[in-house]
Amino acid sequence: MADYDTIFIGSGHATWHAAVTLARAQQKVAIIEEDTIAGTCTNFGCDAKILLDGPFELTEQLKQYQGIGVNTTPSIDWSQLMAYKQQVIQPLSVQMTAVFKQLGIKIITGHGELTDTHTVKVAGSTYTADTIVVGTGQRPAKLAIPGADLMHDSRDFLDLPTMPKRLTLIGAGIISLEFANMAVLLGSEVHIIEFADRALPAFYSEHVEKMIAHLQAAGVHFHFGEALSQVTKSATGLLATTKNGLTIESDDIIAATGRIPNIEHLGLTKVGIKTDRHGIVVDDHLRTNIPNIYASGDVISKTLPKLTPTATFESNYIAGQLLGSTAAIDYPVIPSVVFTLPRIAQVGIPVEAAKLDTEHFHVQALPYGKLLAFQYQNEVDADLQLIFDQENYLVGASIYGNGAPDLINLLTMIITDHVSANTLSQKIFAFPSASVGIIDMLTPLLHHD
């Protein structure tokens, strides 16, 4: 008889939702964790980032009223803000640990490695289970260049006691842009080095260009088409040098060139689990090629966005499977957000893909910042691109503006539920809220039953 019904390797969103559900269903459950309980997002990622972002969002909103009632904007004290972040974030892992223990979930501290299809070894001890779920997530990629060890990563940035006066970020992805936004608003000299010719290729180019222009106006220096070749120490800081000979001196360098799955030293090859460079290969039930071993979250090889909500969805799905469900996983549309200021958000069919397939889709632009100026706090550049199918059902959207995260959630529900104009017109929404203006403009464009 196995020690446990289910063992989870990793304690982030990809696993703990399932662990809690199974424990409540009276299963015997264990979680193996070598780092901090509750995983990257909770401790070193999204939660910490959005907490730090809050004051920057508020000060940027105040700037939109400059000269029309607001004459000064407050300054941000990064050290005080970081202390607040620590105060809020640090207890979370302790609180989650208490929840797990209260539910009877065994927490095993250390690195887990499969020794066979039902056994995991941790620090010399072995634990057996009928089912094993791997949810070990990802880590920042490291560039294979001289001086790579002199650079820091996203986890380090979110723990900086003081903001460097000169900061260079490597890569122009979501993480770099969000960090650059905070740093430049604190008065730092900020440079971004990117080997490609643009930022955020997965997002609508016109919205990205507007955001880049906004960051440039704030003082961020972009260096596209530049591949970092080495990092060296100088008398007064660090030197980042590219293959083209560009040299930038700064006080700190943050490498944000992507993330890679944590699949090494887990015993996956030993037990025959298939992997590729994107992670663990799974079927449409999130099973590996070993029937009793599942994988969940960012460690999976998939084309879908590797985001916390996706990992949570997969974790809940696996719990259902282990409690008797047999349906294949059916992902809804998944929204993505870039938390710069202004924000960019998108969901569903991309704008540029729709413009290339006019036989099946059409795009409607709504410059809602101009049309709804007072509702959207004088953010006149705010823009919404809506994608409709042949029957005028909403199938995609891209938003540029500070209200994008909340708006994209509203539009995600409309897309997912195949909402028609008739359905929306039968609802009464709060007024004069910001979103009701979007609903009023969207309703006549939608399919009529």
DSSP states of 222-291: EEET--EEEEEEETTEEEEEETT--EEEESEEEE-S-EEE--TTSSHHHHT--EETTEE---TTSB-SST
* pLDDT value, residue 177: 99
Q: Is 174 annotated as a binding residue?
A: yes
Q: How far apart are CA 51 and CA 371, in angstroms?
A: 31
Q: Is 425 annotated as a binding residue?
A: no
* pLDDT value, residue 432: 86
* pLDDT value, residue 372: 82
Q: Is 359 annotated as a binding residue?
A: no
Quote the DSSP letter at residue 300: B
Topology annotation, domain 148-257 = FAD/NAD(P)-binding domain (3.50.50)
Instruction: Give the pTM.
Output: 0.96
Say yes or no to pLDDT of 250 above 90: yes
pLDDT tens sequence across 133-189: 999 999 999 999 999 999 999 999 999 999 999 999 999 999 999 999 999 999 999
* Domain 342-445 class in CATH: alpha beta
* pLDDT value, residue 373: 74
Q: Is 193 annotated as a binding residue?
A: no
Q: Is 187 annotated as a binding residue?
A: no
Q: How far apart are CA 6 and CA 120, in angstroms?
A: 11
Q: How far apart are CA 255 and CA 249, in angstroms?
A: 15
294 closest CA partner among 273, 266, 270, 267: 273
Phi, psi of 197, deg, nearest 5? -95, 5
* pLDDT value, residue 433: 85
pLDDT over 90 percentage in the chain: 93
Choose the weakest-confidence range: 64-68, 201-205, 212-216.
64-68
Q: Is 319 annotated as a binding residue?
A: no
Superfamily for domain range 4-139+260-323: FAD/NAD(P)-binding domain (3.50.50.60)
* pLDDT value, residue 377: 82
If you average pLDDT over every residue of the chain, what do you get? 97
The mean pLDDT value for 385-411 works out to: 98
Confidence of residue 434 (pLDDT cuts 50, 70, 90): confident
Q: Is 430 annotated as a binding residue?
A: no
Q: Is 315 annotated as a binding residue?
A: no
385 closest CA partner among 340, 355, 429, 356: 355
pLDDT tens sequence across 291-342: 999 999 999 999 999 999 999 999 999 999 999 999 999 999 999 999 999 9
Q: Is 194 annotated as a binding residue?
A: yes
Domain ranges for the chain: 4-139+260-323, 148-257, 342-445
Q: Is 246 annotated as a binding residue?
A: no
pLDDT tens sequence across 118-128: 999 999 999 99
Q: Are 317 and 375 in contact (CB under 8 A)?
A: no
The mean pLDDT value for 108-117 works out to: 98
Q: Is 173 annotated as a binding residue?
A: yes
Q: Is 178 annotated as a binding residue?
A: yes
Matching fold, domains 4-139+260-323 and 342-445:
no
Q: How far apart are CA 373 and CA 338, in angstroms?
A: 22
